[in-house]
Amino acid sequence: MYCQICNSKLIYYKWYDNHLFPKSANGIIKKLLPWFDFLIPDKFQILKKFSKANIFKGKVIVCKECGYGTMETPPTQEAIKKYYEYNYWQNFRERNVKPTTHGDVYDYLQDLRAGSQIFLVNSQFDLKNIMRTLEIGAGPAFASQLLRNRFKNISMYVCEPGTSWDRYYQMRGLHRIANFFPFDTNETFDYIHTSHWLEHVLDLRKTIYALYNVLNDGGCLFVEVPNTPEIYWELPIGDTPHIHFFTVQSLKAIFEEYHFSCHYIDIFGTRLGKTTQKPSYEQDSVTEGVWIRAIFHKPNQKHTR
């Protein structure tokens, strides 16, 4: 067995259960729910989300050199699709945006995470030529809407499973292009935004290859993923089922292998393991923040005669 990113043979195994089911009342309930899945009505979507999460279990293979981790036996693509289509977003949408009542048309301005992501991209990358954007695992696509606030004429595409967002997207001028990435298309984009999505994909290499192919030359890709350095494995941090676990070193390495150039990468957010009522969205490279934010760039191709 070796690391799928850096090929190192220095690997160790960690049980993922500490993260799926942290040692708390909440964790115990999450652990018991799968046994009662058949009793839980579909309308209790939050419970359903946890009662079906036991498809993500077992050991994670972690690399001692670059820090990358991946599930030893991830669920099948079929099971993953079913999980996200069935449970994942519906409750979130109900809580956060209310398309049926037209909601607050400026809802995207109040989202601190999307706001700080787009602030970072704007300050680090010259976006003035962007015309077409793609947000993957978009939910309400707040990041895209923030970009449009500044670049009025951009066309915004989103990739998101299910039809529950369709009315909202229609109202906001967002085009839902597919349920899952990669998808068959001739379209290409100048800017791609992914926030807390990459850690959920099954085939990481296929995904990064496809990202490169749909990004235009000179284009920009934003990636935010959870930061999982060594200390993460010792902490009972509950997280949504993840298949990949990144460090700055491993995230940068895998994108560079696919010819992206790393324009910016750093650690953000509240320190790992520190519970706080008010999450921080600030850069926190000195300590061990909970997220990695990266901006990758697709260099202009050199044309030779």
Task: Supply the minimum distance, in Å, between the C-beta of residue 125 and Zn ion.
Answer: 28
Segment 2 to 21, residues that bind Zn ion, using CB under 5 A: 3, 5-6, 8
Strand order, beta sheet including 174-178: 174-178, 155-159, 132-136, 189-195, 215-226, 289-297, 261-271
Q: How far apart are CA 191 and CA 219, in angstroms?
A: 6
Segment 247 to 276, residues that bind Zn ion, using CB under 5 A: none
Task: Supply the minimum distance, in Å, between the C-beta of residue 177 and Zn ion.
Answer: 33
Residue among 47, 66, 120, 211 that touches Zn ion (CB under 5 A): 66
Phi and psi, residue 115, nearest 5°: -60, -45
| CA distances in angstroms from 171 to 103, 148, 167, listed in the order given | 10, 14, 6
Site string for Zn ion, 14-53 (x = CB under 5 A): ----------------------------------------
Q: How far apart are CA 180 and CA 45, in angstroms?
A: 21
Q: Is there binding between residue 63 and Zn ion (CB under 5 A)?
A: yes
- Pick between residue 8 and residue 110 the one whose CB is nearest to Zn ion: 8
- Pick between residue 65 and residue 85 the one whose CB is nearest to Zn ion: 65
Task: Supply the minimum distance, in Å, between the C-beta of residue 74 and Zn ion.
Answer: 18
- Pick between residue 116 and residue 227 the one whose CB is nearest to Zn ion: 227
Task: Return the structure tokens found at 84.
Answer: 């996200």
142 close to 107: Cβ distance less than 8 angstroms? yes
Which residues of the shown chain bind Zn ion in the complex (CB under 5 A)? 3, 5-6, 8, 63, 65-66, 68
